Structure 1
Amino acid sequence: MNRSLPLIFAAVCGFAPAPAGALDLCFKSCLTPRMSAPDMDDRAIREALSACRSQCEDEAKQRLAALGEDESLRACAAAPLSEAEFRRVRSASPSVVGVAGAFLWEVDNVLPDKIIRRVEISTQNMELQEVVMGAGGYAAPGERATFMIGHVADGYPAVRLSSRVRAIYACPAPQPAK
């Protein structure tokens, strides 16, 4: 196991300094106990990341369904954020983390009228060709959610450095009746 992984996971799981209440608590509480084995390999790490992403996505869907927003989300074709909105979300969210071939980003939805549904990254494959990859999820207004993209090439050190957030897609958040 790479000895820098515990430090990376400490940052991902919220042990690094961050504003109070800013962490994706669902992902942190799910991942922390799964990462306690001293002999974890990359496969086990990816499985833990995927399981936590699925669990947290299900919880977010249930919260939105309880608010009556699940029907509008099913009908919505998520659209890319404007450049100004993209910059607001990107600057409000912490840096991305790449570990065990996975790309993790805790997205802080600072947009009061949108539910973030998808994040796309641009990266390179092992032949150094540009590839666009994406992950779906749910980040309601005022919430933070972890988006995970698996199987990001990890073969060349520069590949990790070249990965960047390319686009964020969202649906309108239903507005309360006046």
Structure 2
Amino acid sequence: MLAHLADAARARSRVVEHAARGERVELWEPGERDATIEATAPRAAAEHRAATVEQAERLERAWAAVADWSEPADPAVPDPVPPVFTRWREVWIHLVDLDLGVRPGEWSAEFAVHTIGVLRPRLPGGVVLRATDVPRTWGAGAVDGARGSGTEVVGGVRDLAAWLAGREPDEPPSSAVPLPELGPWPAYPARRRDLAD
């Protein structure tokens, strides 16, 4: 996980740095992501920490130099969400995975709403999510917070986001029927239209 977090920051830095020079490169070359993670995973904890800090600082410097976020940096994705949102999700979700004491309950409501917007394609048809702690509803038939006609899954917004992300919620969402099986993770990276609701 730490190898992935460090390398994802490195890859994003490279894309942004090239974009600043008017060049477009892929986030990873074919096979590069898995090969890099496999090669760096055996590092000691201190090495992982140092690499994560180094690459996160590089990414911050690259982002600070961006003048126009409306220009896509990845040629394969003509309408991407700015990469800061991808990194935002990646870091907070993996903080839960790293068993450092961070739980979904520590996510902000804004982060949880954003994450649900991105992961909503995982819901089967006819499933509606209704948050109990913010005035939000997502899914088929959800209009202005109204209840849809299909299966309704109810819970706190952070717990709904954690469930959609495949992580253990602090308080499992509930439904009148068994919770539906989620579809695959949406294609990476998310598009703006996935975040419209």
TM-score (norm 2): 0.26
Of Structure 1 and Structure 2, the greater helix share is in 2
Of Structure 1 and Structure 2, the greater strand share is in 1
